[in-house]
Structure 1
């Protein structure tokens, strides 16, 4: 069975509050808002949340306030639904990424039911500009900032699960405030993580890393020129925090490691990831493991390239041009979900 889906491209500039207000207005009456209301806790400790946000990205508090007014809901409710703080266990998601000195390419694999369907470009007065796919509105599944720092998340496990920051909110905090990989690693070591996640990271100087983060321990995996990242911890000291069965993740990692020796260009690597016949593309949407988008970034020219599943419609632009005021003309991307088990 085939099913079309769309992602809206939203572009906003200005104060943190106005950016949030714009997002709130655009999301009024959208299905995903009801889904998050149902999934999230009805209330969280606002004081604790604001304390954490104030330490890492205080402007996001103002953005939350803007979201609340845009949606015409209370700030207390908006914080519980969209902050990514003290959330219940969310269904597991998958992802595969390859990082080189020249580029970053990744697939995001999950279910369309918990997918914002938004690609957001934000030029804030108080933070680095960013472009990426949103999660829970405030957060980012993957993205890049105006300094050329790019990153994405990879779920590992719920071991040591605690009250803390979701991986997608952590990415937003890092992209908004960090200029390079070293700064990103430092912040990820300080953020109180709610669950076990990998973070794949690269910057325009060619400095690449994978941060393997659990609520109790954060370690860094580095390589001079080529790294891959999937859904299990590889550092021996935290290997016990993995899920019991990681063979599927290891198989994807081995495939990407083999690609290293082919010296692929970013365009060819992008095609490998988006190809429906690739070992990195999945159609298990009902098992929460279907490819929803492919995202790539070239460090040398700030070129962002992305597309949705089974789509020939590729969005490609230079973030540096958008920062100069060149608005994207495309307002929506389309993709196709093919359910294998129907």
Structure 2
């Protein structure tokens, strides 16, 4: 299993996109992953529409895409279609998280063949930074920003599927544009959602929530002491959007229910998530359901713990 590389970039969005692209240009893993993505990508995406909607919601990402384009030596059209994160086919991915007012612990489950294997830190002017596990270079599977807002995605269903942003681009936009959970919820209400996802959130003030989003309807899920989030909607308002078979999610919720009864320190929860015998750790990599990383975000201390399967934990201080 590939270790997650921590990439620490500093500069403008364009400069960081360029540096990231140059690093990827000669990467065999990147080229292999890209060939798989091209095989399922939509060829008739409207690139002007992609540019306009990114400009409206998060214009700085267009500068980063320009740098990425130069770094990997692709056309603007190809970069927008492959990495813009709008009107794209959606891949099913598994994710489990446990959230309290003090920390956010999460496993990401998918295939190592379509996985960036990079945790990207972007430092811009002043104290403006974001960090997180990368998907398709521009997107984030989970992450934290300089306001110490943390957000992660959890796939729920591709049916219905409408024109909109994919989950990892939505996470990135939230991290770029929001200071706290309430701002994130307001923006999530406005963003066009291509499919059904949970977005788990926590901020420096100890506010936490799960935003349940489908292309047609949204809802907010809150609890007092902790929240467990998996690949299904848990509120009655949204349950009709769940897939028919949610057995795996129900199993994980049952396992997580024991954590909610006695809140443990983040180090213990992280270790439990990352242990391969844990009920929330999966190894079915051939069928796109293997744990690829365990990550813990601790907003009040600006620290992140990141563990690849079978590897040692990397401690990142922001």
TM category (shorter chain) comes to: over 0.9
Distance in 1 (CA, whole Å) between partners of 2:116 and 2:219 is: 30
1:86 aligns to 2:87 (yes or no): yes
Distance in 2 (CA, whole Å) between partners of 1:137 and 1:307 is: 20
Paired residue for 1:241? 241
1:127 CA displacement:
9.5
Paired residue for 2:48? 47
1:139 CA displacement:
0.1
Paired residue for 1:22? 19
- How many correspondences in the alignment? 314
Unaligned runs of 5+ in 2: none
Cα RMSD of the aligned pairs, angstroms, is 1.4
1:43 CA displacement:
4.5
Distance in 1 (CA, whole Å) between partners of 2:44 and 2:295 is: 34
Paired residue for 1:334? none
8 Å contact from structure 2 (residues 108, 294) kept in 1:
yes
Paired residue for 1:324? none
8 Å contact from structure 1 (residues 128, 175) kept in 2:
no
1:174 aligns to 2:174 (yes or no): yes
Distance in 2 (CA, whole Å) between partners of 1:42 and 1:66 is: 22
- Using the size of structure 2 for normalisation, the TM-score is 0.95
Paired residue for 1:325? none
SS in 1 for 2:215: coil
Matches within 5 A, 1:71-110: 71-90=72-91, 92-110=92-110
SS in 2 for 1:121: strand
Distance in 2 (CA, whole Å) between partners of 1:196 and 1:222 is: 18
Distance in 1 (CA, whole Å) between partners of 2:270 and 2:303 is: 13
1:61 CA displacement:
0.8
Residues 26-35 or 173-182, more deviating: 26-35
SS in 1 for 2:98: strand
Paired residue for 1:190? 190
8 Å contact from structure 1 (residues 36, 136) kept in 2:
no
Matches within 5 A, 1:191-270: 191-270=191-270
Distance in 2 (CA, whole Å) between partners of 1:139 and 1:76 is: 18
Distance in 1 (CA, whole Å) between partners of 2:128 and 2:181 is: 14
Paired residue for 2:38? 37
SS in 2 for 1:50: helix
8 Å contact from structure 2 (residues 231, 249) kept in 1:
yes
Q: Which stretches of structure 1, 4 residues or longer, exceed 3 Å deviation after superposition? A: 125-128
1:41 CA displacement:
2.1
1:128 CA displacement:
4.1
Paired residue for 1:122? 122
8 Å contact from structure 1 (residues 103, 297) kept in 2:
yes
SS in 1 for 2:142: strand
Distance in 2 (CA, whole Å) between partners of 1:127 and 1:251 is: 41
Distance in 2 (CA, whole Å) between partners of 1:21 and 1:36 is: 21
Distance in 2 (CA, whole Å) between partners of 1:127 and 1:46 is: 33
1:97-123 deviation per Cα after TM superposition (whole angstroms, max 9, x unaligned) = 000011000000111011011110011
SS in 2 for 1:210: strand
1:159-208 deviation per Cα after TM superposition (whole angstroms, max 9, x unaligned) = 12011100000000000111111111111111101110001100010000
- Using the size of structure 1 for normalisation, the TM-score is 0.89
Distance in 2 (CA, whole Å) between partners of 1:25 and 1:282 is: 33
1:54 CA displacement:
1.6
1:7 aligns to 2:4 (yes or no): yes
1:126 CA displacement:
9.5
Change beyond 3 A, Cα 1:64–1:127: farther
Paired residue for 2:71? 70
Distance in 2 (CA, whole Å) between partners of 1:40 and 1:19 is: 25
Paired residue for 2:276? 276
